[in-house]
Amino acid sequence: MKRLAVVLCLLSSAVFAQGVALQMTPDPLPAGGALSVVLTESNGVNITFLSSCVFTSVHAGTPNGPIASSVLCAQALSTLGPHGTRAQTWTAPSGMAPGLYYLKVVYRPAGPPITEWFPLTILDPAQPLLSAANNAQVGQTLSLSLTDPGSPGAGYLCAGSITTNQGFNATPTVFCSLDMDSVFAFSYPSPITSVFSGFQGALDGNGGAGLSVHCPNIPSLAHSPFHVQGAILGAAGQIGLSNPLSFTILP
């Protein structure tokens, strides 16, 4: 109970960890598909954008990785009010390979510009798939499913985070999009099951598993970002990461 009280306290302050949230549709993105993104200001303050775009470039592999696609943006200052939203559409260029990419978002609160990074997966059919049945919402349950038809019975684990600005190497060749922040610490390696349910276990005979996030009924969580990613554990010790999912927590 004491550990749960601590995580609820940390969750209530998590809104300050990242100044904006980004919801993407579809997520993951089919090769050559059209992406719609909606950015939400998270902290209840005015922020300024330096261009007409939500994101200004798409980078391959890691935050601040090589530019895979530049976005044509008009240079113009504009202000977004507290908890305001801003939308953008983008189509993946022909020939853009499946894999992990990052959207670069630059904005300015009352101070110097801030850069945030949001992961985007262009779908690889061979990759484990993490999908959501609904949106994240204060006081409600977010239902997720992890599927890998080629790995029935395999062990799996999932974790969450508020930010995705750094990530880490799960192995020398496998990059995880989640940041090791307070939410990550309470979802992995020993998840608070009253919040993060089914975050560890074994896939069923069809290579699937259901999991959920019980979003605490804390009003200050509204408009804040939340990210989830899963991993399939191979018998020989290999790790297969799913696509990360990004959410804006609804009021």
Q: Is the pLDDT of residue 113 over 60?
A: yes
Output the average pLDDT for the chain: 92
Q: Is the pLDDT of residue 15 over 50?
A: no
Q: Is the pLDDT of residue 13 over 60?
A: no
Q: State the pLDDT at residue 1.
A: 43
For residue 26, whether the previous peptide bond is cis, meaning omega lies within 30 degrees of 0, is: yes
| H-run or E-run covering 241 | strand 239-241
CATH, residue 189: 2.60.40.2360
As a whole number of Å, the end-to-end CA separation of the chain is 25
Q: Is the pLDDT of residue 175 over 50?
A: yes
pLDDT, mean of residues 179-203: 96
Closest CA to 62 of 119, 107, 123, 121: 119
Q: Is the pLDDT of residue 111 over 90?
A: no
CA-CA distance, 122 to 248, in Å (whole number)? 20
Tokens encoding 246: 């990004």
| H-run or E-run covering 55 | none
Task: Please indicate whether residue 238 or residue 4 has the higher confidence score (pLDDT).
Answer: 238
Q: State the pLDDT at residue 110.
A: 84
Q: Is the pLDDT of residue 4 over 50?
A: no
Of the chain, the percentage scoring pLDDT greater than 70 comes to: 93
Q: Is the pLDDT of residue 193 over 90?
A: yes
When pLDDT is cut at 50, 70 and 90, the band that residue 17 belongs to is low
pLDDT tens readout for residues 126-137: 999 999 999 999
- The region of weakest confidence among 2-11, 50-59, 156-165, 230-239 is 2-11
When pLDDT is cut at 50, 70 and 90, the band that residue 16 belongs to is very low
Q: Is the pLDDT of residue 9 over 90?
A: no
Does the predicted TM-score (pTM) go above 0.75?
yes
Q: State the pLDDT at residue 2.
A: 43
Closest CA to 164 of 131, 117, 120: 117
**Number of domains within the chain:** 1
Of the chain, the percentage scoring pLDDT greater than 90 comes to: 86
C-alpha separations of 85 from 15, 18, 149 in Å: 16, 15, 37
Domain that holds residue 170: 2-248
pLDDT, mean of residues 80-105: 96
Which strand ranges, in their side-by-side order, compose the sheet holding 129-132?
129-132, 141-147, 208-214, 196-197
Task: Please indicate whether residue 42 or residue 234 has the higher confidence score (pLDDT).
Answer: 42
